[in-house]
A and B are shown apart, each in its own frame.
Chain A
Amino acid sequence: MALLQIAEPGQSAAPHEHKLAAGIDLGTTNSLIASVRSGEPGTLPDENNHHILPSVVRYLDDAVDVGASARDAAQYDPLNTIVSVKRLIGRDVSELKTLGSQLPYDFVDLEKPVPRIRTVAGDVTAIEVSSEILKVLGKRAEDTLGGELDGVVITVPAYFDDAQRQATKDAAKLAGLNVFRLLNEPTAAAVSYGLDQGADGIHAVYDLGGGTFDISILKLNKGVFEVLSTGGDSALGGDDFDRVVAEWIMSQAGIRDDADHGTLRHLMDLGRSLKEQLTESDSAKVSITHEGSEWSGAITREQFNELVDPFIKKTLQACRRAVRDAGISKEEIKDVVMVGGSTRVPRVRERVGDLFNTEPLINIDPDKVVAMGAAIQANVLAGNDTDGDMLLLDVNPLSLGIETMGGLVEKIIPRNTTIPVARAQEFTTFKDGQSAMAVHVLQGERELVDDCRSLARFELHGIPPMVAGAARIRVTFSIDADGLLNVSAEETTSGVKAQVNVRPSHGLADDEVTEMLRASIDHAEQDVKMRQLREEQVEAQRVIEALKAAMSDDADKLLNETEQQLLLDELQKLIDISGSADIKKIKDGIKALEKASEFYVERRMNNSIQQAMAGHNVDEFK
């Protein structure tokens, strides 16, 4: 057996290498990628020195175009050009319908959980469209940073639900990106601000972008960002302002709403341009030619304010609820950070300032602040910021519950609970000998099942036969640090693990993602196998390095000699097979080592907990 090299305690086994990491703001209107270079976060430009990538994807016969040129094509090629895809991701057709009549696409697969859009290049899901944007950004980063990305942090609206988060993660997977973490947009913005200004205290982040609105209340304390509450609307943003202005033009110019796709797209563009002009001036002129006749007119800022006030009012309601949920009073909030392009609208600033009774902060570019915060977090997660003390503690935005008798929802994890979190619920059988049961998981604040969002249905099988009411089935719902739900179940009187079959109500099943991945690599079986093998080898390497580093750190303190030898033997076994070309062999090897070292991993965790608490003086409680 080859001798294993172990470094001096306190000295890491491998010299620390700088990992390539980036933060991505995948926006409704605009997307950006940023990275920390020489300690400073900054957004990365394309070869024409543009930092912002418009989130528009155009499908051509044999190519995909993303960005500004695609956006310019939207007017004359509306069916193949997908704009604001973020409003579609993780949603089904019925929801898309309620989002408004402004969607000009040709939807197919209407009955499926994930609708598809017909384009010249075939039918695509919102997940695939988003992945095209991510691919372009990922490539931009690899070109600029000069190497393969180890991982990325992708931001999502804090108010995104489970399906929308899962879909975003699937899009990243499809784009070949390793996702360190999904990060909430307002939290990312707070990181940019907080670290910049080093201000401890309670802050509010008001984020109104193109398609989504979030409000978050955070407490910052020596590098720890603790989100106290969050609220919002994942279908409210600048797009809505554009639409009401477009509708105003239509009513003035006498254009009916069954006009063709190109005209509707043009009206939306006019709406946006008027809106943006009104940020600078008191009134703006517009003219449009429709069916041969020309109409021209002007709109004042007062008129515009009146049109958008109902939307702003909705955001203020969410703000008040977030303050209440945070368990604080408005006066305790030190400042309000404005994020997102739509916070440039003077009326928005005015109303938000009135509510919080303070001048809103706008000193970091509202377009870039989210991406930069994500980059800072990505840098930390990659392990590059070794002496940093930053930690983000976020919450789940929406309550999670299950369906009970009579179509009611029983809440299991209330909104604004700090994640990760796990809660268990006990169920029992209804009939003698019942061996299966169905559980329906919902997300939302309302009492009726129909008013909440269906996340998934679970079927539990393999319950041992018992009389009605005797079985105790404990179902554990956990939300991980990405805000994603996991479920496990166990019959506690017998210890039988019930098998959980997840059927997501929205989103793709795991094998569908694999299938898309297969298709997108568009090569033979062989390539997919190679990729899996490489992934498995990398994971084996990670496991080996982690154990080596841990042992060089504290094996002498935490393990006796027998234990040390046992771990070294098991470690060597994995080292020996880690170069093998047999995927299954490596997989099993990893499992075996993990099992053997489990006690040690836990002992280390307990030890660091004790050390952290030992730092506090117990005497002060006497």
Chain B
Amino acid sequence: MLDFSQNYFELFGLPADFRVDLEEVSLRYRDLQKVVHPDKFASASEQQQRVAMQSATLVNEAYEVLKDSLKRAQYLLSLKGRDAGGENLTTTDGAFLMQQMELREALDETRNAADPLEALDNLLDNIKTAINEQIAKLTILLETSTEEDLDAAMESVYKMQFLKKLYSEAESLEAELEDMI
């Protein structure tokens, strides 16, 4: 196996930071694949092909995590000893619970709007704004490792999970509406 003791940031030669330069991440991703991808070993021995395939798989996995804000936050939390992957997260933030309900209702109502696609567009924008708020929070919270900050980061991750799920539901509805035209 490859050096699996390295975490994804180390594999990419990057500091373990929530803030990443996405251009830089994809540049490094491409440079990594240029040396590990199975296509580079197409006429090599089966063993080399196997190792190449495992390495390319690992690099792909790391890239999936590093380029996605939610996955990156969850991964950083796991490096800091927190399990932010499961369904055990929750929030007591009343304002957010309100917002959660409103967004859900808005999604349910778009079908009946005068111009459903426009309503949906607005909703998608709103969700995006809410996601960006959480990203801004996480950027600050994940700079430290105090228990309070980590607790708050876990809560942010929970909110992001909800928002991202809602976003993809809204997108599915958009696809459905567009297909009907």
Contacts and interface: CB of A to CB of B under 8 A. Distances in A.
A612 B61 contact: no
Contacts of B53: 420, 480-481
Contact of B30 (A221, A547, A606): A221
A391 interface: yes
B34 to A, nearest CB: 6
A470 interface: no
Contacts of B15: 621
Interface stretch (A301-309, A317-325, A519-527): A317-325
Interface string A589-622: 0000010011001100110110111111010110
User: Which 8 residue pairs are nearest across A and B when measured between Cβ atoms?
Assistant: A613-B13, A381-B42, A608-B35, A543-B45, A594-B47, A481-B38, A546-B45, A420-B57
B179 interface: yes
A557 B25 CA distance: 29
Contacts of B125: none
B87 interface: no
Nearest to A380: B39
B45 A393 contact: no
B179 A317 contact: yes
Nearest to B20: A621
Contacts of A150: 43
B60 interface: yes
A597 B179 CA distance: 55
A614 to B, nearest CB: 8
B38 A420 contact: yes
B42 A151 contact: yes
A317 B43 contact: no
B3 to A, nearest CB: 5
8 contacts: A321-B175, A383-B43, A391-B30, A393-B37, A542-B43, A543-B47, A606-B3, A621-B15
A611 B1 CA distance: 18
B43 A224 contact: no
A496 interface: no
A19 B55 CA distance: 26
A555 interface: no
Contacts of B32: 609, 612-613
A606 to B, nearest CB: 5
Contacts of B44: 542, 546
A421 B171 contact: no
Given A594-B45, A613-B13, 15 more contacts: A151-B42, A222-B30, A224-B30, A324-B175, A418-B64, A420-B56, A601-B47, A602-B2, A602-B3, A605-B2, A609-B11, A609-B35, A613-B32, A615-B31, A621-B17
B14 A389 contact: no
Contacts of A408: none
B178 A598 contact: no
A150 B42 CA distance: 11
A164 to B, nearest CB: 21
A478 B57 contact: yes
Consensus secondary structure, chain B interface: helix
A179 to B, nearest CB: 10
A539 B46 contact: yes
A422 interface: yes
B114 to A, nearest CB: 22
A570 interface: no
A224 B34 CA distance: 8
Contact of A418 (B27, B40, B60): B60
Interface string A536-551: 0001001100110000
Contacts of B24: 616, 620
B131 interface: no
Interface string B45-68: 111100111011100110110000
Interface size class, chain B: 35 or more
B57 A181 contact: no
| Max chain B C-beta neighbours (<10 A), residue from A392, A547, A606, A613 | A613
Interface in A379-403: 380-383, 389, 391-393
B34 A612 contact: yes
Contacts of B30: 221-222, 224, 226, 391
B69 to A, nearest CB: 12
B138 interface: no
A616 B28 contact: yes
A181 B42 contact: yes
B85 to A, nearest CB: 13
Nearest to B37: A391
**Residue among B3, B40, B42 with the most chain A CB within 10 A?**
B42
Tell me which of A420, A614, A618 has the highest count of chain B C-beta atoms within 10 A of its own C-beta.
Answer: A420
Contact of A391 (B17, B28, B34): B34
B33 interface: yes
B36 interface: yes
A180 interface: yes
B28 A601 contact: no
A421 B37 CA distance: 12
A613 B12 contact: yes
A181 B39 contact: yes
Contact of B1 (A480, A602, A612, A613): A602
Contact of A19 (B37, B43, B52, B175): B43
A322 to B, nearest CB: 11
A109 B84 CA distance: 52
Nearest to A601: B51
Contacts of A605: 2, 35-36, 51-52, 55
A392 B38 contact: no
A181 B39 CA distance: 8
A422 B55 CA distance: 11
Contact of B28 (A478, A543, A546, A613): A613
Interface in B123-181: 171, 174-175, 178-179
A144 B42 CA distance: 24
A222 B174 CA distance: 34
A151 B41 CA distance: 13
Contacts of B57: 420-422, 478
